[in-house]
Structures are given as structure tokens and as C-alpha cells.
Amino acid sequence: MPNGSLSDQMCSDGANRLTWPQRKKIILDVAKGLAYLHYEIKPPIYHRDIKPTNILLDSKMNAKLADFGLAKQGSEDESHLTTRVAGTYGYVAPEYALYGQLTDKSDVYSFGIVILEIMSGRKVLDVLDSSAGLITDWVWTMTESGKMEEVFDQSIREGQEKIMERFVLVGMLCSHLAVALRPTIVEALKMLEGVIDIPQLPERPMPLGHESFQSSLLNGLQSSG
């Protein structure tokens, strides 16, 4: 993979090298890869560690999912409960980190985080600005304040704003705290492609940066490590 990982492209000024068409294609490629894992393979496979370092880019910037070391086969009919939570802080779905409930929606949550990172050029957690909190909290704040355009990475702000807005909204929906409110990856892909409409966003969930969530999420990951 000559172009390394998505993380390589987004390091320091790397995000500015990604054009809007490239970002759009990467997001769609990842969605298609997850749709294959969740629906084309029987029983389905849950990746459990969707993040920029595990998304590799070939010479034509086609995105491929990598590192299946944490992947787990799931049941087609019910969620998988596990006492050993695996994944990377910031990308792990809350219900999985807190209760060990693993479903296809766990990968959808991670995918939503990656969408927001790609669209904004920001990392899931801004270590240089502690007041910004997690990317989900920041995006919700910007959107509710009518400042959606500020979510877009500066290098792509002059472009197809309506389509970019759709991608951000899908990212917000996929990374919603409530499992039932997240779309399946197939539904998310159709929303991204404009095949189906995006439902009205539900009420804003409690910010993940809230102390009660932070301590519980960290404890869940540390106890299972």
C-alpha cells in the first residue's frame, strides 16, 4: 500500500493533501468494506478496531480495511456479549466498552468517528486543545450553533457543501450513543450515496466528554486489557 494508512495522510499537514473527492471515496470504500464483512460473510465478521491506522491506501487512493487481529465472528440473530473488550479508546462504541455488547452497530460507531475525522481533519481527541473534547461533542456543538461549515477541513470548504453536510450528518448519526438510533452500515452507505434520505437527527446525546462516561469507558477498556 504505497500511500500508507489514512492516519499517515492525516498527520500534521497531511490532511491538507487529501482532496474532497479523495476523502469522499475513502469514506465510501470503508463503508463498502464493512458492508461486505457484516452482510456478505456468514456468519458476519465484526472488525472491532476501525480507525485511520487500520485503513490502508493503495496507489490510486483506494481504501482497504486492515488488521483483523481483533476481528470476531458474530451471530446473525443476536448481539455477542463478551467480558473482554478490545479496541482503541475514542473509537470503541460506548455500549461495547461499558457492557461488552458487540453488534454490527459497534463497527458503525467507529465508522462514524472516522467520517468526522476525515471531514474535519481533526483527531478523535484533540490533545492540544483539552477544551475541545471528543470530536463527536465538538461536531454536535458546531452543528447546533449553525456552524456546520466550520466542521469541514479548511482545505475543502469551497466545494460541494451540501454533499459534505450529508457526510457529516451521517457521521453524527453513526456515532450516536444510542445503538437503536444508529443506521446499519448498508443504510449508512445508501445515505452517503444519496440513495435514501437521512432521517432527522435525534436529540443530542449526553456528551461523551462528560465525566461519568469518561471514567466508565476508561475503566472498561483498562479492565479488559
Query: What confidence tens digit (pLDDT) does each residue in 65-90 have?
Result: 998 877 787 765 555 555 567 788 88
Cell reading at 151: 466542521
| Mean pLDDT over each residue of the chain, to the nearest integer | 85
User: pLDDT, tens digit, for every residue of 32-46?
Assistant: 999 999 999 989 999
Is 49 a catalytic site residue?
yes
d(CA 166, CA 23): 13
**Range with the poorest average pLDDT among 8-12, 88-92, 141-145, 183-187:** 8-12
Average pLDDT over every residue of 171-188: 96
Q: Choose the catalytic residue: 8, 13, 49, 197.
A: 49
Work out the pLDDT band at 14, boundaries 50, 70, 90.
very low
CATH of domain 4-223: 1.10.510.10
**Range with the poorest average pLDDT among 99-108, 123-132, 200-209, 213-222:** 213-222
The fraction of the chain above a pLDDT of 70, given in percent, is 81
Cell reading at 72: 470476531
- The residue among 9 and 211 whose pLDDT is bigger is 9
d(CA 118, CA 6): 9
Say what the pLDDT of residue 125 is: 82
118 has pLDDT over 50 = yes
